[in-house]
Structure 1
Amino acid sequence: MPARSGQHFSGVGPGGGSFQAGRGSGSFTTQGGATVDYGGRGGSRTGPAGVTRGRGVGGVKVTGPGGQEFSKVGRAGGVQGPGGNAIGGSRGISQTTGPAGSARSISRTGFASGPNSMSAFRGGVAVGPGGVVAGRTGVAANGHGTYFRSAAAVSGQGVAVRRAAVGYHGCFTNTWCAKYPAAWYPVRWGAAAAWTAATWNALSSYGGYPVSQPVSYDYGSTVVYQDDSVYIDGDVVGTSAEYAEQATEIAEAGMTPEATASVEATAAADPTAAPDDSAEPAWQPLGVFAMVQGEEKSSNNIFQLAINKDGVIHGNYYNAVTDTTEQVFGSVDKKTQRAAWMVGDAKTPVYEAGLVNLTKDETSMMIHYSAERSVQASLFRIKQDGDQAK
């Protein structure tokens, strides 16, 4: 049963100004045995001239059943004038501590905006009225969000993301999945098979893809959104809406009655039972990935993916904040080699990456929130520690 408490205060000053403030907190326990504690407080003050100042602080802490703690604290403040001008900033600290190790990251941002909707961020990003983004390192993107990133920038971010992901090394094993009723673990898999990374040679042989013709999708580099069109290697392949709709169709192909029947038929009734080695496994693991957007250095969104011979994608999505797991459904278009998937029963967002890109340790990807809104993100492979593979 969730527990909550809170208070709210407001009043009017002698000069005509007003103020309000509040604070609240609570906690609850998830089905996996984790405890989520949260709290926050905030307030604002408006002067007689119409200038409003506000600030707030909030935090959340998740304690997993194994004793690992994940916490995040954020602080924000801002000032808004009567003419629509505003300035503000935020600061966030994330960390994990416990039996699996410790990690910490700090982020800071600031902004200024006016009637023309221009915003500038201290992290080196400016957003204009048309959704155009310009970064200090030369990054530029339209409203659909593809942008170029150097190999050095991606590699450096990967180091930070993997360091922060130490608390996830116990996930997706057979014993871990047994604790989460919604988790999926196929029969004939060993204790930690979900963490196995696929190679392109093995994957092409397994699924019948041309071994010498992998199709790589490097968003922001070989795949670019520009002027409401999508370009692959410089050629227009359709509008951004058409490209997103194609991704949805690919993902939904993994939810047909035939596809879901193959998933159910190969699911282990007891994930902790000894694997059946009498036949080839029906599912080839692709591995475990942390998903981040922008310059994030840590992730609460973890995907474990697998594929079968028919190109059906299945696996699990783990939300580290709520300590909950949902199954992943999707497929691969064998002609284009685009992989797309969805989480649970939700039709959006749709996630996509190139199949060969899912054999790499880090890759760009796209998140399609709708036909009108698609943004670029990154996947970083997490490699399980030997001591955690039991």
Structure 2
Amino acid sequence: MQAAWPRRVVVAPDSFKGSASAREVAEAIARGLSRAMPGLSVETVPMADGGEGTVEALVEATGGRYVTETVTGPLGEPVEARFGMLGDGQTAVIEMAAASGLPLVPASRRNPLVTTTYGTGQLMRAALDAGATRILIGIGGSATVDGGAGMAQALGARLLDDEGQPIDFGGGALHRLARIDLSSIDPRLRSTTILVACDVRNPLVGPEGAAAVFGPQKGATPAMVRTLDDNLRHLAAVIRRDLGVDVADLAGAGAAGGLGAGLVAFCGARLQPGVELVIQAVGLERRLQGADLAVTGEGSLDRQTPFGKTPAGVGRLARRLGIPAIALVGAIGEGVDDAVLDACGLDSVFSIVPGPMPLDEAIRGAHRLLEQAAWRLGRWLSRRPPRTEVAAHELP
């Protein structure tokens, strides 16, 4: 008699925003599968796509630790922010929003002419102090449009005006920049690999740039947008002249109000899709080796999921390795069809909600709904023929 299939499952979901962390989602799915299939080998790998929850997912997945620092917030006031040191003891993971994020600024005080990324630079310096030789930075959710100038200043870069004095914080001061002096920048940066989770392709300046596209959500009026775009264009020109790096039209340079550009120019960082960065950091390819099935998930799967979301990253990797993949999600968006699932590398997707239910009730009950959905999936799997007799497209 052939052994039952699957024997080993890797559960690699993102968080369900507002309901459950990636770790909690993974554990709920694992409980449901194990209840349906006693003896099943289940490995949980909390995931993220570089946005909110990335630090927690990577620390949990690698057995790392958290470090909390008091840094300069986007308005220049002190804030408590934390970053993660991963289990290898050499990799730090930072969410810039922890130090320079929009939720740290009351709606009535949102003004990207004055908000700064200085605190993000302080977290980077703290990571270097903690022994990091590799820094992963998620740059979503910023309150800033300063082109990463504050971040650079925190790391020792001197951004000087015509009189040789440091310029003020904020995107509104960039027009005063006359010269960049990196002689005092932290020397440890030269031997540190900096990878940036960046899922937007926007350039630094122009109609698709940092100010025009992202400035209004950070409090910029139309007049402010014009000022900020001009100032970022000036910053790019000085960077090109003094540092020999052209960031004006670089895809992704406009992310986080131009922080993408600043990290490339001042720190030699590389921009890459967030979910790919996380997949590498947690060693997901190695963990999938020998698995019979991958189960992923997120709060919602829709037509945007193929563009950098966790289920697509996990599904594509699983497909490349010849492993079927299924997603358990809170909601399946309108228009999800064969093309969307194929683009995500997924064999199928199931909603964890068994019937009509108020949204707040589904959010409150996410842990229970996830476990029940995984149990139903496990019962179906346990009654199928062995994997050798089941083609991937025959999954439900």
Q: Which range, TM-score by smaller chain?
A: under 0.3
TM-score between both structures, scaled by the size of structure 2: 0.23
Select the structure that is richer in helix.
Answer: 2
Higher RCO structure (Cα 8 Å, ≥6 apart)? 2
